[in-house]
Amino acid sequence: DYELCEEWRHLYPVPREDLISLHREHLLHLLEMGDMEKALQLLQRIEDPGICLAVCELSLDQHPSLAASHFLADYLTAHFYENLTTARRNEIQALYMGSKVLLTLPEHSRVNYFHLSSRPLLLLEQLLMNMKVDWVAVAVQTLHQLLAGQEIGFTVEDIDNLLSKYAEKALNFPFALKDKRS
């Protein structure tokens, strides 16, 4: 149906808002089906960069699945970085990093942390609080790689400070040890 609508668009004038809505619905459908290749082809077929940017941003704002969010954040960063405000750039890059970290977790547990995908530091802290040390190790390694040369509102030092804070708490004993003397 979406392809038929696209063909009609070439024959008859379609208002800009309707065109954006059509492409957004089509893109989200393709992403939810897991067809990233066709989604990329769809975005490449959109001739007007303003429409393409609007389609991607509106699709991302719909909070699609983890893989779809990751795809859209990556596409927006790669193709429209200069067109985004600094705040929006940071938001999209944080979502990209958070979704990348989530994709490193076991599939069955991703749903428990999906709501934190746009807040990587909070996601890391939640993993620490849940004692998922192995997952934290992979998450930290992933974030360190992604943060190289990036400015998104937090730094490697922020990650290190968070890890230090929880390491200190892990060593904090709620009782005093008795001094045994012989």
From 84, 111, 131, the end of a domain falls on 84
Task: Give residue 175's pLDDT.
Answer: 65
Residues 57 and 100 in one domain: no
Q: Is residue 181 part of a domain?
A: no
| Owning domain of residue 41 | 1-84
Residues 8 and 78 in one domain: yes
Task: Give residue 80's pLDDT.
Answer: 92
Task: Give residue 29's pLDDT.
Answer: 93
Total domains, the chain: 2
Residues 93 and 80 in one domain: no
Residues 96 and 72 in one domain: no
Task: Give residue 182's pLDDT.
Answer: 53
Task: Give residue 39's pLDDT.
Answer: 92
CB-CB neighbours of 91 under 10 Å? 17
Task: Give residue 72's pLDDT.
Answer: 94
pTM comes to 0.78
Q: What is the mean pLDDT of each run of 10 residues along the chain (182 residues)?
A: 76 86 92 92 90 93 89 92 89 90 90 90 90 89 81 79 84 64 58
46-53 long-range contacts, Cβ below 8 Å, gap at least 24? Answer: 49/80, 49/83, 51/16, 51/19, 51/20, 51/23, 52/23, 52/79, 52/80, 53/80, 53/83
Task: Give residue 53's pLDDT.
Answer: 94
Q: What is the pLDDT of residues 38-67, one digit of tens each?
A: 999 999 988 889 999 999 999 999 888 899
